[in-house]
Structures are given as C-alpha cells and as structure tokens.
Amino acid sequence: MKIGIVCYPTYGGSGVIATELGLGLARKGHEIHFITYRRPVRLAHFQANVFYHEVDSEDYPLFEYPPYDTALASKIVDVVHYQNLDILHVHYAIPHAAVAYSKKILLGQGRYIPVVTTLHGTDITLVGNNRAFAPVVEFSINKSDGVTAVSQSLKDDTLSLFKIERDIRVIYNFIDFERFRKTNKEHFKKIIAPNGERIVAHTSNFRKVKRVEDVVCIFKKIVEKVPSKLLMIGDGPERQNCEQLCRELGIGNDVRFLGKQDAIEELLAICDLFLIPSESESFGLAALEAMACEVPVISSNSGGLPEVNIHGVTGFLSEVGNVTEMAQYAIQLLENEEMLAQFRANALAQAQRFDIENILPEYEEYYREVIRKSVNKVE
C-alpha cells in the first residue's frame, strides 16, 4: 500500500508511534509518505521506501499567525495526488482537522482518499478542558473513514465526550524490541550510581499533566529509606519548577536532569524503577518503554495506564496525587531483591503483548478494511 502519515513530529508519544508505525510498515514493503512541518525525531536514517514531505507554513507579514492548517491541507492534496496514495493515516484530530478540506478538494478532482484518524488522548482531554474545540474534533472523527484509539479508556472517554457516529477500533500502542530491551550498560550505572544506589527514572515532556513535582516528592520519600538516584529525562514547561523543588527539598545531588535524549533505552537499561504519576494519560507509552527494558512501574491509575501497568504484577497503581502510597510501593519493591526480580520479569512479559510484530498487522488489516469500504464512495 501507499500510505500517507500525518503527525505531530515532536518528542511526544503520538509522533513516536506515528514514525515507528511508518518505519515498520516500510520494512514490510509498504511505501510511506510522512507529511509534517518538521522531520519527526525518530525519522533519522535513509530508508528506500520512506518519503518525507515538509509542510511549509511561512510567516507572512500580514498575518499574526502562520496559516498552518491551510498549508497542511494544500500539501496533503499535492502528495495524495502526485504520489497516488491509497490511504491517509492522521495522528490526532487536532491539529489535523485540515485533512477534511483536502478530502473535499480531492473529491472535486474525482479522487476519494480514505482517511484513518488515530486518537492519542491530548485532543480528547483538550476538549475536556475547553469545549470550544468540540465541534472540530467531533467533525474530524465523524468524517474519518476509520477511527482508532490507543486504549479502551480513550475510546470510552471519546464516546462519552462526543456524539460519535462511527465505530472506534482499539489498536494499542506498541514497542519495538529490536530497540527497547535490557542491554548491559554497567559503565553508565557506575557513573550515575557509583555506590550501588538504586536508579529511578521518569521520562516526559514536563507538561503540568505529567505531575513532575509528584515525581520529586515520591523520590524524596524513597531516598530517605533507600539510597537512590533519580534520572529526569525530557524537557518542558515544568522543568524549572521541578529543579527548584529538588533544591528546596535538599535532594539536588541525587537528581539528574538529562533533558531530551534520543537513546532513552540505554538509560532505561540501568534503571530499577520508573515513575509516571500523570493526571491523565491515554496509554503511557513511556511506561511501556520502561517495561520493555525490564523496569517495573509505579503509576497513577488514570486513563489507559491500568491497561499497560498491572497492579501488583508489573508495578503498582495509586490514585492521582497519592504520593505517599506511591512512595510506599516504590520502597517495598526497591528493598526486596526477589520481588523486584519477579516484577522485572513480569514487566517484560506484559510489554511483549504490545510487540510491534503483533500490532502492525492489526493496522495493515484495518487499512485494507477501510480501503475496501471506501471503493465507489463519493462523499
């Protein structure tokens, strides 16, 4: 198939999933066309049947905001037409509602392009916080030929927030074990934890919703009982406050802020525990990445996290904000070598359920189904 992928190209999970999906499909022989305003972070190397089309929405002195949606719609029309795509896969209803324009324009040219939209969460929670976006998100979902959600919880939230006229297929996020697996990085470990301390990690884009200050508060309680180090991986709006809090709590020397990292798997390989206390999380790809590297997870129980992290098996889950309980669970695990080893094995086994090798065929099958149903469609 010739597949166009429209995504948000940043370090966020949706961009990662869109890119890895495209690369995986390309390995299986499909021709993949990424359409986005910047090269996606994980699209680093040349691959024969992968193409990248940059959306160029230059600033124009007359306009206060660059007209990104218009530029995107035009680029989609161009790529679908000249590359003769079979299907478009759009990651996020917002900001990619512009796809609806492209469909109409192409229809005027006698071309029906089927569109699959994958919901990743933030577009849905955005509407939860601001109803002003609801009509556009609802329209994008209802006008798609196929809609997928990355967890059952996100599907349920979408159905309760919007008037949805079509079926939503749950296709879970996935992990590539070629890359995410436990490898021997003892030399890193010696630098970060020279006295054999436990290593705890958190990865995110440091948005408010990630509750990074909870990560610090949990760690403060951990380090009082178990000699440990905390790796804070990623960057974003809350990083500064978080660093300040570490200083105020007197744990600055035990916490390393590493910023955005490309080879996260090399850091996860030396970790004993992963913390993700998010306020809302449609899936929690970061938790899955940790589990694939045999790292148990202490998380909140929000959104899709309970579908990934299994309480008492791969880690523990608590109510959002219950840092005391999360710290107790963490200490319980870190102090018990046997239990930790069992949870590590369980985390890996659970992550294997989300192996890219199992999930890619689900997308391929779904594309075929959507294309089949779109034949002879005129609206």
**Selected binder of ligand GMT within 9, 121, 296, 315 (CB under 6 A):** 121
CA distance 244 to 250: 10
* Token pair for 349: 């086994």
Give the x/- contact pattern for ligand GMT in 309-348, rule: CB under 6 A.
----------------------------------------
Interface with ligand GMT by CB under 6 A: which range of 14-22, 82-90, 245-253, 348-356? 14-22
Helix (H) or strand (E) holding 93: none
CA distance 276 to 288: 11
Interface with ligand GMT by CB under 6 A: which range of 7-15, 52-60, 78-86, 103-111? 7-15
**Selected binder of ligand GMT within 4, 9, 12, 24 (CB under 6 A):** 12
**Selected binder of ligand GMT within 17, 149, 175, 230 (CB under 6 A):** 17
Q: Is 283 in the site for ligand GMT (CB under 6 A)?
A: yes
Q: Is 205 in the site for ligand GMT (CB under 6 A)?
A: yes
Tokens 């994958």: give the residue.
118
**Selected binder of ligand GMT within 30, 75, 120, 344 (CB under 6 A):** 120
Which CB atom, from 146 or from 223, has the smaller least distance to ligand GMT?
146
* Straight-line distance from the first to the last Cα atom of the chain, in angstroms, rounded to the nearest whole number: 22
CA distance 370 to 10: 28
**Selected binder of ligand GMT within 116, 285, 292, 317 (CB under 6 A):** 285
Interface with ligand GMT by CB under 6 A: which range of 130-138, 204-212, 242-250, 252-260? 204-212
Q: What angle do helix axes 285-292 and 337-352 make, rounded to 10 degrees?
A: 110
- In the complex, what is the shortest distance from the CB of residue 292 to ligand GMT, in angstroms, rounded to a whole number? 14
**Selected binder of ligand GMT within 31, 157, 214, 281 (CB under 6 A):** 281
- In the complex, what is the shortest distance from the CB of residue 366 to ligand GMT, in angstroms, rounded to a whole number? 16
Long-range contacts of 52-61 (CB under 8 A, 24+ apart): 53/78, 53/79
Which CB atom, from 36 or from 228, has the smaller least distance to ligand GMT?
36
Helix (H, G, I), strand (E, B) or coil at 62: coil
- In the complex, what is the shortest distance from the CB of residue 77 to ligand GMT, in angstroms, rounded to a whole number? 25
Q: Is residue 180 within 8 Å of 268, Cβ to Cβ?
A: yes
**Selected binder of ligand GMT within 144, 282, 328, 350 (CB under 6 A):** 282
Q: Is 277 in the site for ligand GMT (CB under 6 A)?
A: no
Q: Is 150 in the site for ligand GMT (CB under 6 A)?
A: yes
- In the complex, what is the shortest distance from the CB of residue 285 to ligand GMT, in angstroms, rounded to a whole number? 4
Answer left, alpha or beta for residue 148, where phi above 0 means left and psi between -120 and 50 means alpha: beta
**Selected binder of ligand GMT within 4, 6, 7, 14 (CB under 6 A):** 14
Which CB atom, from 66 or from 236, has the smaller least distance to ligand GMT?
236
CA distance 119 to 117: 6
Which CB atom, from 146 or from 284, has the smaller least distance to ligand GMT?
284
Q: Is residue 178 within 8 Å of 201, Cβ to Cβ?
A: no
**Which ranges of 132-284 would DSSP assign to H, the alpha helix?**
134-143, 152-161, 186-192, 212-225, 239-248, 264-268
- In the complex, what is the shortest distance from the CB of residue 332 to ligand GMT, in angstroms, rounded to a whole number? 26
Q: State phi, psi for 168 to the nearest 5 degrees.
A: -115, 125
CA distance 179 to 346: 19
Q: Is 239 in the site for ligand GMT (CB under 6 A)?
A: no
User: How many other C-beta atoms lie within 10 A of the C-beta of residue 198?
Assistant: 21
Which CB atom, from 8 or from 86, has the smaller least distance to ligand GMT?
8
* The 255-259 sheet, strands edge to edge: 255-259, 228-233, 198-203, 273-276, 297-300, 315-318
Q: Is 158 in the site for ligand GMT (CB under 6 A)?
A: no
Chain centroid to Cα 202, Å, comes to 14
Which CB atom, from 36 or from 282, has the smaller least distance to ligand GMT?
282
Question: Which residues here bind ligand GMT, judged by CB under 6 A?
Answer: 12-15, 17, 120-122, 125, 150, 173, 205, 207, 209, 280-285, 303
